[in-house]
Amino acid sequence: MAKDSHDFTYPSSLNAYAVSMRDYLSARPQYHHIVVGAIVFHSDRVLLIKRAPNDSRPNLWEIAGGSCDASDKSILAGAVRELREETGLSAARVSHHIEPDVEWVDRARRWLKVTFEVAVRNEGDPDGCVAVGVERTCEGGDSGSELRLETEGQSSRLGSEGEVAPPAGVFPAVRLDPKEHQDYVWAREEDVRRGATDGFALPFVSKAMQDTILEGFRLRKG
């Protein structure tokens, strides 16, 4: 398990993405730019965030992500940065690549989006433990007890100055940038599949986004 200088780990299977965007693209000249996505699971839920009403594709749901920057040390670091900027969550480990990648052409330039599952530090946990599946891994390396959900209602609304109160229970605390996102929810697989949860709709930014999230759930089942 390699460790990035930005203090997250990743398996050797992701070495191809532990390079700068420039180096990655130089070996794949058919692409012009890289977009990254970061899926965060907690127990049987996935973190979804709702785009701001005045941003592009307003009021639609997605996972954290965005353009990889030339200043990012690696593609993995770009995904970790976007996650931190959009949700305030700190990555502990990038666990794997969720395929298939998404490609599109815009103004004669071919874009590639790669998505990763990311385990985050639960900064609200007094032991500084990490949410990984239904277990928690502490900084000392020991696995803790099962993370049990303590609430059914998982939708939280944006508060003042971008502060979002974490859902009750053991979920990591999310902090949104109100210029980019207005709300978040920890959704079940069936919520993602039907595009609705807890009495409100979850229209996704694209069918590809929804499919990628569902693929993430499938991979977690082994």
Q: pLDDT of 44-84, one tens digit each?
A: 999 999 999 999 999 999 999 999 999 999 999 999 999 99
Q: pTM to 2 decimals?
A: 0.81
Band of pLDDT at residue 166, cut at 50, 70 and 90: very low
Q: Which CATH superfamily is domain 2-220 in?
A: Nucleoside Triphosphate Pyrophosphohydrolase (3.90.79.10)
The CA–CA distances, whole Å, from 62 to 15, 57, 187 equal: 26, 10, 11
Instruction: Please give the average per-residue pLDDT across 178-198, as a whole number.
Output: 95
Q: pLDDT of 14-45, one tens digit each?
A: 999 999 999 999 999 999 999 999 999 998 99
DSSP secondary structure code for residue 15 in this structure: G
Q: Where are the domains of the chain?
A: 2-220
Mean pLDDT, the chain, integer: 83
The CA–CA distances, whole Å, from 40 to 19, 28, 120, 122 equal: 22, 28, 7, 12
SS3 117: strand
Contact 102, 86 (CB under 8 A): no
Instruction: Please give the average per-residue pLDDT across 210-214, as a whole number.
Output: 98
Residue with the bigger pLDDT between 3 and 201: it is 201
Q: Write the DSSP assignment of 118-180 as a string of letters.
A: EEEE-TTSTT--EEETTEEE-TTS-B--------S--EEE--GGG--PPPSSSPPP----TTT
